[in-house]
Amino acid sequence: MKVAVFGASGFVGINVVNAFQQAGIDVVASDIRETPHITAEFKPADLLDYDQVAGVVKGSDMVVHLAASPLPISIEKPRLNARINIEGSLNVMDAAREHGVKKIIFSSASSLVGEVKYNPVDEKHPATPKTPYGVAKYAIEHYLRVYQELYGLNYLIFRFYNIYGPWQYPESGALIPMVYRKLKDEGSFNVFGDGKQARDFIYVGDLADFYVKAVRKDVKNEVVNLGTGKGTTIKEVVEIAGEILGIEPKINYLPQRPGEIDNFVADTGKLRGLFSEVPGTSLDMGLQKTFDWLRALG
């Protein structure tokens, strides 16, 4: 079994590639630039260059597609974001078709749901994406379905919820590393609204384990939520982080931002049905591991 991983130099990619190697899965890692944090065979590729993409895919049994132009870029440069995310993904899919790949595992985003009408959010929840990034992710989900129907290319789509853990730097602007940095540096954290908005936080080590399972199990042509099914409010995250760091956090409440989603938690019934389990790392344990890693950065 050989797996090609696009987006291997990113936060999730590093964790997934390392998990594959630990599980004895042969990996060829690819990204637009190399990272020193993985030891797998590496082939650089620009998603918009079909020949480079095909060179990575050739000889692989499966493809893990994690590469993406991120959400903030989609707000600033929607056309560029669409080219990378949609046209780039079509290059991956066409290369997979050309070289007889058994399955593409694609990382989609729970944010494509847009306005939450009910909780927990299952895979059949109406989707009205609120960002160009979400529109692109939703489009790729449908392209994968159509490629399966037209060409027999199998896929598995994981819709990511709020991922955190090692290799996610504070510079990313993500909530968990930002909480760590702000509490360490200032002892306080700014919360928009009352801080009671619940989110579903999944530890990246659990996510990587599900990628190993997805490679080994014959689960295909499904869209599956990858979350824990447990909601934690932003206020609770700050309080738990404070306990781990031994800091009494001062929470600064700011006006709620327009368009802020209220509660957003994954329905994990389908995930449990297909894989017989759901992510099991508690937020306390996941934060402890993450903060240990961040602390080691200095």
pLDDT in tens, 126-147: 999 999 999 999 999 999 999 9
Residue ranges of the chain assigned to CATH 3.40.50.720: 2-162+201-226
Element at 142 (helix H, strand E) = helix 132-151
When pLDDT is averaged across residues 46-67 and rounded to a whole number, the result is 98
CA distance linking residue 83 with residue 122, whole number of Å: 29
CATH topology of domain 166-200+230-267+281-297: UDP-galactose 4-epimerase; domain 1 (3.90.25)
145, 146, 151, 157: CA torsion to nearest 10: -20
Q: What is the pLDDT of residue 259?
A: 65
Check if CATH label 2.40.420.20 holds for domain 2-162+201-226: no
pLDDT cut 90: percent of the chain above it: 95
pLDDT in tens, 235-251: 999 999 999 999 999 99
Whether residue 117 has pLDDT greater than 80: yes
pLDDT in tens, 166-196: 999 999 989 999 999 999 999 999 999 999 9
Residue ranges of the chain assigned to CATH 3.90.25.10: 166-200+230-267+281-297
> Assign residue 178 a region: left if phi > 0, alpha if psi is -120 to 50, beta otherwise?
alpha
Cβ distance 266 to 226 under 8 Å? yes
